[in-house]
Amino acid sequence: MAKVANQPLCDVCGNKQVKNGKTSAGRTLWRCKNCGASSTISCPDITAKAQFESFHQWATGKLSVKETGTARSTFFRNTNWCWNLRPRLEATGEKHRYLMLDGTYFNGFCALTAYNGEHIT
């Protein structure tokens, strides 16, 4: 696969490629002037961002997979990696001697409360 850049390099000979129109799907087609090989490039960061936003919208919203506009099997295949993400919490630097937690179930949701001796959150 070609390196993702403004002007990708040819997979065959390594020379710079030039734009050569678009595919029927609308993606930019790149062509090597040296050897004539053509290719398309994808930007994995943009794809992953779109997949995660779709996953997040589905996981935290009320839309079903069908209502997201993506086939069910495609949605779960594309967003399966999102289940393995671990949220990173930054340390606030606050230290408390006590922390009391409690949860109350209401209409299928659980409301969590935390008390650190001074504040309830």
Which residues make up the interface to Zn ion (CB under 5 A)?
10, 12-13, 32, 34-35, 37
Place of tokens 């289940």: 83
Q: Pick the closer one to Zn ion by CB: 29 or 35.
A: 35
Cα–Cα distances in Å, from 95 out to 92, 99, 116?
9, 10, 9
Q: Please state the closest distance from residue 25 (CB atom) to Zn ion, in A.
A: 23
Q: Please state the closest distance from residue 40 (CB atom) to Zn ion, in A.
A: 15
Q: Please state the closest distance from residue 5 (CB atom) to Zn ion, in A.
A: 15
Question: What is the side-by-side order of every strand in the sheet holding 17-22?
Answer: 17-22, 28-32, 38-39
Q: Pick the closer one to Zn ion by CB: 32 or 78.
A: 32
Q: Pick the closer one to Zn ion by CB: 8 or 32.
A: 32
Q: Which of 76, 78, 69, 114 lies closest to 96 in space, CA to CA?
A: 114
